[in-house]
Amino acid sequence: MNASLNSWVEEIARLTKPDSVHWCTGSDAENSRLIDEMLTTGDLIKLNPKTHPNCYLHRSHPSDVARVEHLTFVCTRNREDAGPNNIWMDPAEAHRKIDALFEGSMRGRTMYVIPYCMGPIESPYSRCGVEITDSPYVVVNMRIMTRMGDAALKRIEREGKFVKGLHSIGDLDPERRFIMHFPEELFIKSVGSGYGGNALLGKKCHALRIASWQARDEGWLAEHMLIMGIQSPEGQTHYIAGAFPSACGKTNLAMLVPPESMPGWKIWTVGDDICWMQIGKDGQLRAINPEAGYFGVVPGTNRKTNKNAYDMIQRDTIFTNVALTADNQPWWEGMESGTPALDWQGKPYSGKGAAAHPNSRFTVSAKQNPIYSSLAEAPDGVPISAILFGGRRREVAPLVYEARNWTHGVLVGAGMASETTAAAVGQMGVVRRDSMAMKPFCGYNFGDYWQHWLSLEGKTSKLPRIFHVNWFRQDKNGKFMWPGFGENLRVLQWIANRCEGKAGATESPIGFVPAPEDLNLAGVDLDKDTLNTLLSVDVGAWRQEIDAISKYLDEFKDRVPAKLRDEQRTVAGRLG
């Protein structure tokens, strides 16, 4: 009933020339039919129904296994609006280039029209979109990852506004692969890839790149963050949002299992990857998870590292690019049992190299998480007490420290760095600046983005406290110093207590750091020297760090807010 939606669908059908057009309803029957079709074509492989009921394996093309940041463009009329943190292309040129690849790209295929809602259907914080695709794999994944189908279409018809997404797998030629974003038009175009981050347009493309632009215009935040609830034995729950680059432990932290030595503590997962925050009527920053499922990195997932994730992917899950055992069970590096017979490409496994792709994934409904929060569907979201920034740093960054104030916290987020991971194409293990873990995802100039963060201070007096954490500090032998996993709750407990004014800290040049006695370490095996090192601030190393942050800010020239520059100089002054 939406005239603009109907005319757009007709326009795309004329361009791509599909054999048929199907409007997705999101029904069980539709989903079952699509799965059956993909089993017939070989796009899906049914896994062992006794061990993994209703689970399937999808193998993507070997050239199509991760996000392709070098082929991902932000197309704004003014180049500076995209900023040096994005690859820019003129919108008119971009449309011409990619539309030429869409010409006739769906011949012999069905064109699927997917109406979806990012966030709870009834939430005022949610935003809708429509993805057009020729991939049934995308349809069944979008059904898991979003609120997809008739309910979303009804909201679109009521509001009349939606983000457009056009996707075709094309011929999977890496030379004919582009992911283009037109934030001024609320439009995404992706061709030549079937990989999740490039093809599930509701995820990174809409929920971060386009939504960050929407959020700036409308006065809220769209962030690459987990959302978790931390419930004390006394029954008080604090909600925390945390930004970590991909494959740096967001999912594990969001589904943390408290150690046995901390009885009575509970964790609730609201989201593991994306967080939309708006200032609520109560003046607090309130968050929703726009996603309805998890598209998680599977290698390393086991009962020890992430019991909740491991348990929830034993049924009703789509795996992508994992290995297979002889009896058709999924297998990946980090499994505690089983032997791979076929690698992620379906070839007999020789025992050399990785059997599962390092960026292999699972797609599963969030409701299968044993600690899924009952407030994940709350229209008003959850109140955020603290925001965490963190990365994979072998040295320099202590286990945890708290920013002195909101402006300092924005600098902490802007300057955060991490080692690159397998979630993005390119060299692994290289340290790069990744502001707020949004380097691949911010849809506009980072200088303007930091200014938008700073602007929230003038809108409410109830902003969350900001912290930086680093679970990955290593000793001289390359061994992790902090035990991590469930023991991270000890750091989260200190953070929650700081929010209540109940925990001590020592002021350092970079912020407030807990003294050893401020942390609850009962039951954890950690010697005094290691703990002191974890909490130490090496002033000499931090002088180099703050100088490196200054040079990083220089990349954004006059778009860097003066207030952020002043804060960087203040920290430099504190370091002498």
pLDDT value at position 384? 98
Taking each continuous run of H as one helix and of E as one strand, the counts in the chain are: 16, 30
Q: How confident is the model at residue 1 (pLDDT cuts 50, 70, 90)?
A: confident
Phi, psi of 445 (to 5 degrees): -60, 125
Q: Tens of pLDDT along 69-88?
A: 899 999 999 999 999 999 99
| Beta pairing class for 330-331 and 400-402 | unpaired
What's the whole-model pTM score? 0.96
Q: Are 168 and 133 in contact (CB under 8 A)?
A: yes
Q: Which residue has the higher pLDDT, 418 or 230?
A: 230
Q: Are 419 and 272 in contact (CB under 8 A)?
A: no
Kindly compute the dihedral angle of the four CA atoms of residues 488, 491, 492, 495, in this order, to the nearest 10 degrees: -170
- Same domain? For 186 and 236 the reply is no
Q: How confident is the model at residue 426 (pLDDT cuts 50, 70, 90)?
A: low
- Same domain? For 494 and 561 the reply is yes
Percent of the chain with pLDDT over 70: 98
- Same domain? For 157 and 254 the reply is no
Structure tokens at 489: 């709750």
* Per-residue pLDDT at 247 exceeds 70: no
Structure tokens at 199: 């093809």
443 within domain boundaries: yes
Q: Tens of pLDDT along 93-139?
A: 999 999 999 999 999 999 999 999 999 999 999 999 999 999 999 99
* Amino acid making up residue 449: Y
Q: Tens of pLDDT along 463-475?
A: 999 999 999 999 9
How far lies 16's CA from each of 98, 104, 248, in Å?
Answer: 12, 4, 38
Task: Report d(CA 542, CA 408) in Å as an integer.
Answer: 15
User: 10 Å Cβ neighbour count for 20?
Assistant: 10
CATH number of domain containing 343: 2.170.8.10
Nearest to 244 by CA among 425, 392, 427, 406: 392
49 within domain boundaries: no
- Same domain? For 464 and 348 the reply is no
Task: Report d(CA 189, CA 211) in Å as an integer.
Answer: 15
Q: Tens of pLDDT along 476-488?
A: 998 999 999 999 9
Range of the domain at 146: 3-43+67-219
Residue 37, marked binder: no
- Same domain? For 80 and 184 the reply is yes
Residue 205, marked binder: no
**Domain count across the chain:** 3
pLDDT value at position 432? 84
Phi, psi of 387 (to 5 degrees): -115, 130
- Same domain? For 322 and 420 the reply is no
User: 10 Å Cβ neighbour count for 87?
Assistant: 14
Mean pLDDT of the 497-519 span: 97
User: 10 Å Cβ neighbour count for 563?
Assistant: 16
pLDDT value at position 221? 98
- Same domain? For 522 and 435 the reply is yes
378 within domain boundaries: yes
381 within domain boundaries: yes
57 within domain boundaries: no
Nearest to 168 by CA among 118, 115, 117, 98: 98
Q: Tens of pLDDT along 149-178?
A: 999 999 999 999 999 999 999 999 999 999
Full DSSP string of 343-367: -TTSSBP-SSS-SS-TT-EEEEEGG
Nearest to 241 by CA among 253, 221, 225: 225
Which of 173, 197, 219 is at the close of a domain? Answer: 219
| Beta pairing class for 56-58 and 318-320 | parallel
Residue 252, marked binder: yes
Structure tokens at 202: 């509701």
Q: Three-class SS of residue 438?
A: coil
Q: Reply yes or no on whether 248 is catalytic.
A: yes
DSSP state of 487: G
62 within domain boundaries: no
Residue 248, marked binder: yes
Mean pLDDT of the 303-309 span: 92
Which of 189, 219, 249 is at the close of a domain? Answer: 219
- Same domain? For 101 and 212 the reply is yes
Three-point CA angle 520, 522, 525, nearest 5°: 110
Residue 197, marked binder: yes
Q: Are 394 and 249 in contact (CB under 8 A)?
A: no
- Same domain? For 308 and 275 the reply is no
pLDDT value at position 418? 82
Angle between helices 562-574 and 406-415 (to 10 degrees): 90
pLDDT value at position 23? 98
- Same domain? For 287 and 298 the reply is no
Residue 126, marked binder: no
- Same domain? For 306 and 258 the reply is no
Residue 224, marked binder: yes
Mean pLDDT of the 249-263 span: 94
CATH number of domain containing 88: 3.40.449.10
- Same domain? For 356 and 448 the reply is no
Place of tokens 């200054």: 550
CATH number of domain containing 242: 3.90.228.20
87 within domain boundaries: yes
Task: Report d(CA 364, CA 252) in Å as an integer.
Answer: 15
Mean pLDDT of the 504-524 span: 97
Mean pLDDT of the 428-454 span: 91
Q: Which residues pair with 372 in a beta bridge?
A: 269
pLDDT value at position 566? 98
Which of these is catalytic: 117, 205, 248, 275? 248
Which of 321, 349, 368 is at the close of a domain? Answer: 368
Residue 109, marked binder: no
pLDDT value at position 248? 77
Q: Are 257 and 305 in contact (CB under 8 A)?
A: no
129 within domain boundaries: yes
Residue 392, marked binder: yes
